[in-house]
Amino acid sequence: MISYAIWLYFRFPLSLRMVEEMLAARGIEVSHETVRQWALKFGQGYANQIRRRLPAPGDK
């Protein structure tokens, strides 16, 4: 659940409130403040993993 929220926040240009709404649509009730705290605590590691998996510009 935490990893999904952080993935949404860092992978797509979403606000904290939009991430909160997307989680609520899946039946997960968290506040935007909770998502913010997760992003501060776990975000850099997830962001680094996402960037590592993306192909470099010019790769086919």
Query: Given this model, what pLDDT does residue 32 score?
Result: 95
Across the chain, which has 60 residues, the per-10-residue mean pLDDT values are 87 92 95 94 80 69
pTM of the model: 0.71
> How many Cβ atoms sit within 10 Å of the Cβ of residue 47?
16
Alpha-carbon torsion, ordered 41, 43, 45, 47, to 10 deg: -170
